[in-house]
Structure 1
Amino acid sequence: MIFVVAPIESSKAIMNLNSKKILYSLSIIVAFFAMFIFSYDKWADPIVDFGREVYIPWAINQGKILYIDIFYFNGPLSPHVNALIFNLFGTGINRIFYFNFVVAGIIALLVNIVARQIASNFAAFISTMLFVFLFAFCQYILIGNYNFIAPYSHEATHGMVLSLAMIVSVLFYIKNNNRLMPFVSGFLLGLTFLTKSELFLAAASAILMAFIGLWRISGIKRGIYFITTVLILSLVPIFIVYLTYLQIMPGEKAIESVIGSWKYAEMPALWNLPFYKASMGVNDLAKSASIIAFVGAFYLIFIGIIIAASHFNYNKFNRLSIITVMITLVPSILFAIIFYLWPSYILVNFARPFPLLVAGSLLVMIRRTWVAGSFRTVAAMIFCTFSFVLLFKIMFHTRIYHYGFYLAMPAMVTVACLLFSWVPDRLKRVAKNPDFRRPYLTGMISLFVVIIACFISISSVRYSMKQNKVGYGDDVFFTSKKGVLVNDAVTWFTEHTSQDSSLLVLPEGVMINYLSRRLNPTAIINFMPPEIFMFGEENILASIKDNPPDYAVLVHSDTSEYGYKFFGIDYGVAIMERIRQHYVDTYQLGATPFRSNRFGMSIMRHNKKTD
């Protein structure tokens, strides 16, 4: 009888597990498409950043050479990937949207795979749903672009998918000893180098931790084979790109092109801008630390209530009582009330304690690996390292909006694994309570459902404000009222200028170049303070003098967050003088730029007599 029942029970358990996996997968797919439809065509910003993301690939296809004809501050991979998308499927913003939809889907899959290796299947499900609901399609502030469909920088999303794919290949090697995987890991690490420096640094740190983990659980020989192979293979894509650039530019310039953003990593004038100090939270460290402590205390209170209620349930009633359920729901109710009263405070400070939670998890996993390492602890140590290093750029101002949409995403996954797998597993062993997880997970699920609902409500409000269509055909997207003037400017250039007319937009707004299909003859496409510091005002001015555009458009932009309010008045004065001397006002849209807080544009025509 025993031999008959045991296989049957085992078979039922397997069927139950498979049913849960199918349910989780279907739920994630439904949520993914629902969020895509919910936010459809409302991801991009018509003025800030995203115009660069579509203009440069289009310009490359028109014969422009990155780093020579276009000044650029990131790695070369993403612009050429997007140029390839345009080549294969036709030029259109929607082509980029759809490709990024696929990239976001792959990231969701990779997040799920990694989370299943380091935590429970349920924690992996929660982690993936958090990515879908809070990061992939979100917009929490007035400016778009901080999502995975229309990112402010494709290096962020491309680098993320490459890094996560690298981590998955590393974990497969550790688990299955597939000797091909280190070659894959190395090549992916090299590709990540060609995106953004912070992503490469995080990925490289994960590789180092993988070496340490292999050393502890499999011996130094296997660890040396792994890291040697990874380092050698990582040079392959970098060397290929270098050789390619060497055919069209001098060796020194080719090296600068390959290293991308690393060239500007140690530029004091750039990182001393108020914008970056505030972004990192180092403009007022005491205030940042106090907020982290304050919000962290609420985390402890909320988690403590759920743990205490779960423990109380077991000791007093030995069953899931109504009282216990009510107590575990208290944090959810409190969070909803706080969000209702102070939504901006929640948005800005919700993720502040993430570095502490991730660092704590990392230290625990390092200790466990060092004492008695297992695959799961090594895998968790690797991912925690990746998550923690990625937070360096926003360490004292961690957030899920703005740059946090990609920098804080792995940390959010780590926190989900911590709260939905590592903490309950540990407490279950300590309390020796077989039913501890039920009330605990009831409280945690309700809390995270409320959190997701609150943040979706913010995105919903932002997207409801985007009712104005920008562009035509495959370039259509919806945005705020600024998009109306962008459309008017594009229409003006289409009706009053020839297709081969050149156009310069200052200080930002290269989307107008892209939508009107008018090339910028200069090497600079953005005149914001960081670009002025990176490329040098003299170099920029020389580029304008050598390649004067037929038209210039002044677009109102308040850049006070950088410490300089208006272009041409507080910075870029010499560039503005050049424009004023050699261009005449031709057409006005909205308010006159740089005179008030009202948005507007001035279209100016080149007066060749002044040259």
Structure 2
Amino acid sequence: MPASPSQFGGWDDAASRGLIVVVAIALAWYTWAHWGDIQIDCGRELYVPSEILRGKLIYRDIFYPYGPLAPYAGALLIAIFGTHLVVFYLFGIAVAIGCAMLLFELGAMLEGRAAGLAAALALLSAGFAPGFANYVFPYSYAATIGLALSLICALFTLRHLFGRWGYNLLLAGLAASLATLCKQEFGAACYLMLAFVLVTEAARGRSIRPLTHGIAACAPGVALWVAIYGGFFWTLTPAFMVDANWVGLPGTAMHAYGAHLYYLDGQHILRQMLLLILSAVVSPRLWFLLAKASRISRNVILGLIVAIAVACRFGFLVWAARAVSELLIFPEGMFFIGCGFVAYSIYELNRKGDRRRLAEAAFGIFALVPALRVFEGITPYGYSIYFAMPLFLAFVVAISRCIKAATPALSVNQQRGLVNYLLAAEVVMLALICIPQTSERLATLETSWGAIRLEPEEANVARQILAFMSEQKREGRRVAVLPEAPILYALTGTEAPGRWYMVVPGILSLTQENVLLTDLNRAAPDYILLTARMTHEYGADYFGIDYDQKIYHWIESNYRVAGQFGRFRRDESGSTTQAPLAALLYEKEEPGHGDRSR
């Protein structure tokens, strides 16, 4: 039988929670200030809260594609503690620890302490990476806060199913509401889980009372997000909210680029699905065979896998490490493993009527919904570290069940020991693959907000650009940055010429492109910095060439190239590697100026 639900007590549980905190602190120290990206997304998490404190209203005055809770939380942090990156770093570390703790509690409820601890440590191993995909300074705090709130919802839902004392459904509903105000996909996951639980309880009890009681308990949370979103939709109109903000929805300009962003390839989708299903079938079978093997064989195999992971850290056997990760450690077909987990739980629920199986099915449904965003590209990097971590917990539970099924002759204590051993090996292998090298980002960029660690070339260019923008600000001149590097606005205390501080593919519809042109004409910036940002992940590489040509034509017609920062190149179409920061400097032409020399 699986372990009993976590009681939030006991020395063993306290030691596990202490280990989570210690690991998080150690990773924070090891990777300090390596987080964030000077070009991509992360600067929005500083710029939008700063604009809110200037009196701007989100959605109306500032483009924002997610729910309003995270930027207003960021604005509160700035208002209380000031403009310091350390404040956001510490906040992000706290959110990471919170998410890890919640995964631990959920895992302890579903399968036992080892499963929860494995999922928690896996999240931390993947959550301190450099660049935009981490929990400390991420591409969007809406994703990390939304995940934390959705895990809180799942925790209280499971407490309700296990008969624990408290206002569990009320608190689950409030957490679901706040998750909806961060990232709508996490809110959808919460409400689908709650709906499944309430409807199933009513159907199995042959009474409508549990359903009405549950709806009443969740109603305050629903009223909260309906009132907030309803206020925005009422004052700004639904068309404006969708076309000018929530650009990722079906039918918007961004939808055409969504398949590229989330790894879908329409021409080969059948082959992709077959490979994912094959991965989903092979991965549990490998764990089953590993548990069934003799002790010596098992240790030899694990030793070889750990050696491959160590070699990968030094640049060797990268292909082998990737194969091991995709098939064993963090399988690409995890989404379909989750589907099997839910199907089996529902089957056992119908057969035995056990509320534990209802809890497993509910959590599986909850985990699958956000994972839809990345289901064809599930890896321990990128967006998966937010959207697929609940699913990873379901995968760990499935591993534990496979290990037990492979060793029926062992006693309960022996099985528990083997599960602990193999899950510990899973965490070690994942940590070796995910935890970054200290040799990355050797240069320190000192800014008005604090220090960021970057590659030396990028730090040097960023230093020059920040100095230039700050100087122009002192002299009363305005600098616009296109297509994307909103952190430059935040670090220099300057503002974009309109609502848009980034114009990657799909952000602007044809209507909104004309609005931005109107804003640019009105603001008439003295300089425009055109960065060499390559947006290959959207399926359109370069601003002005592959998308938003009208704006680029306006720049060429009204400005002249006055210089460049770094080595500006736009001749790497098709490359999947983001070029270092570089920018062309366009200077506004005086009326009647005829010299358009380059």
CA distance 1:229–1:166, change in 2 (3 Å): same
CA RMSD of aligned residues (A): 3.1
Instruction: Give the AA of the match of 2:582.
Output: G
Distance 1:439 1:103, change over 3 A: closer
Contact 2:60 2:236 (8 Å CA) reproduced: no
Task: Give distance in 2, aligned partners of 1:101 and 1:499.
Answer: 38
Match of 2:576 in 1: none
Q: Offset at 1:440? A: 3.5
- Counterpart in the other structure of 1:476: 451
2:399 counterpart SS class: helix
* Distance in 2 between residues matched to 1:610 and 1:358, nearest whole Å: 65
Q: CA deviation at 1:479?
A: 1.6
After TM superposition, give the deviation of residue 182 of structure 1 in Å: 2.4
The answer to whether the 8 A contact 2:448-2:492 is kept is: no
Q: 2:474 aligns with which of 498, 506, 510?
A: 498
1:158 aligns with 2:145: yes
**Which residue of 164, 169, 189 maps to 2:156?**
169
Any residues of structure 2 matched to 1:331-342 within 5 Å, and which? 331-336=301-306, 339=309, 340=312, 341=317, 342=319
Residue 554 of structure 1 aligns to a residue in which SS?
strand
The alpha-carbon deviation at position 441 of structure 1 amounts to 2.6
1:85 Cα offset (Å): 1.0
Query: 1:202 Cα deviation (Å)?
Result: 1.5
Superposed, 1:191-340 pairs within 5 Å as: 191-215=178-202, 220-242=207-229, 245=232, 251-253=235-237, 257=241, 264-267=248-251, 270-273=254-257, 276=260, 279-280=263-264, 282-293=266-277, 295-296=279-280, 298-309=282-293, 324-336=294-306, 339=309, 340=312
Q: Could you tell me how far 1:290 is from its partner in structure 2?
A: 4.4
Task: For residues 396-447 of structure 1, give each alpha carbon's deviation from its aligned partner in whole angstroms, at most 9, with x where no partner exists.
Answer: 2222211101111111111112223x3345556x547446516733661464
Q: Which residue of 2 aligns with 1:5?
A: none
Q: Higher helix proportion, which one? A: 1
SS of the residue 1:381 aligns to: helix
The Cα offsets for residues 300-342 of structure 1, whole Å up to 9 and x where unpaired, read as: 4531322322xxxxxxxxxxxxxx3212224424534665421
Provide closer, same or farther for how the CA distance between residues 448 and 432 of structure 1 changes in structure 2, counting only shifts above 3 A: closer
**Counterpart of 2:557 in structure 1: which amino acid?**
Q
Q: Which of the residues 399, 407, 423 maps onto 2:402?
A: 423
What letter corresponds to residue 325 of structure 1 in structure 2? R
Distance 2:509 2:242 in 1: 20
2:519 is equivalent to residue 543 of structure 1: yes
Question: What is the deviation of 1:525?
Answer: 0.9
Name the CA distance, whole Å, in 2 between partners of 1:203 and 1:260: 27
Match of 1:352 among 293, 314, 332: 332
Equivalences, count: 569
* Paired residue secondary structure (1:75): coil
Q: Does 1:21 align with 2:13?
A: yes
For 2:348 and 2:243, locate their aligned partners in 1 and report how far apart those are by CA, in whole Å: 37
Residue by residue, what CA displacement relative to the aligned partner does 1:19-40 show, whole Å, maximum 9, x if unpaired?
4323322222221111111111
For the 8 Å contact 1:205–1:385, the answer to whether it is kept is yes
Q: Does the 8 A contact of 2:497 with 2:525 survive in 1?
A: yes
Q: Which residue of 2 aligns with 1:363?
A: 343
Deviation digits for residues 559-593 of structure 1, max 9, x if unmatched? 23433232112222210121222234344212235
Give per-residue Cα distances to partners, 1:326-361, cap 9 Å, x unaligned. Answer: 122244245346654214555667421211221111
Secondary structure (helix, strand or coil) at the match of 1:102 reads helix
The match for 2:62 is 70
Change (3 A) 1:398 1:47: same
Query: 1:355 is matched by which residue type in structure 2?
Result: F
- Superposed, which structure 2 residues align to 1:400-439 within 5 Å? 400-420=380-400, 422-426=401-405, 431=409, 433-434=411-412, 436-437=414-415
**2:102 counterpart of 1:102:** no
2-structure distance, mates of 1:39, 1:231: 40
In the alignment, the residues of structure 1 paired with residue 273 and residue 229 of structure 2 have an alpha-carbon distance, to the nearest angstrom, of 43
Q: Give distance in 2, aligned partners of 1:450 and 1:556.
A: 38
Work out which of the residue numbers 108, 114, 129 in structure 2 matches 1:138.
129
CA distance in 2 between counterparts of 1:338 and 1:291 reads: 23
Contact 2:133 2:385 in 1 (8 A): yes
Q: Structure 1 residues 302 and 529, CA, compared in 2 at 3 Å: closer, same or farther?
A: same
Report the Cα distance in structure 1 between the residues aligned to 2:82 and 2:403, rounded to whole angstroms: 51
Give the match's secondary structure for 1:497.
helix
> What is the letter of the counterpart of residue 373 of structure 1?
G
Alignment of 1:525 onto 2:512: no
Partners of 2:252 and 2:73 lie apart in 1 by: 31
Displacement after TM superposition at 1:499 (Å)? 7.1
Deviations 1:234-275 (A, max 9, x none): 3322244247648xxx63437864999766421265333275
Query: Do the aligned residues in 2 keep the contact of 1:328 with 1:439 (CA within 8 Å)?
Result: no
Instruction: Indicate if the aligned counterparts of 2:176 and 2:221 stay in contact, CA closer than 8 A.
Output: yes
Structure 2 unaligned runs (5+)? 1-5, 573-578, 594-598
Instruction: Note closer, same or farther for the CA distance 1:330–1:219 as it changes in structure 2 (3 Å cut).
Output: farther
Change (3 A) 1:128 1:259: farther
Report the residue type matching 1:270 in the other structure.
M
Letter of the 2:418 counterpart: Y
Answering whether residue 583 of structure 2 is matched by residue 601 of structure 1, we say yes
Percent sequence identity over matched residues? 20
Which residue type is aligned with residue 429 of structure 2? Answer: I
Letter in 2 for 1:571: Y
Instruction: State how 1:539-578 maps to structure 2 within 5 Å.
Output: 539-578=515-554
User: 1:440 pairs with 400, 406, 418, which one?
Assistant: 418
TM-score (norm 1): 0.84
C-alpha distance in 2 between matches for 1:191 and 1:169 = 14
Structure 2 length-normalised TM: 0.86
- Report the residue type matching 1:444 in the other structure: L
Whole-Å separation in 2 of the counterparts to 1:257 and 1:274: 19
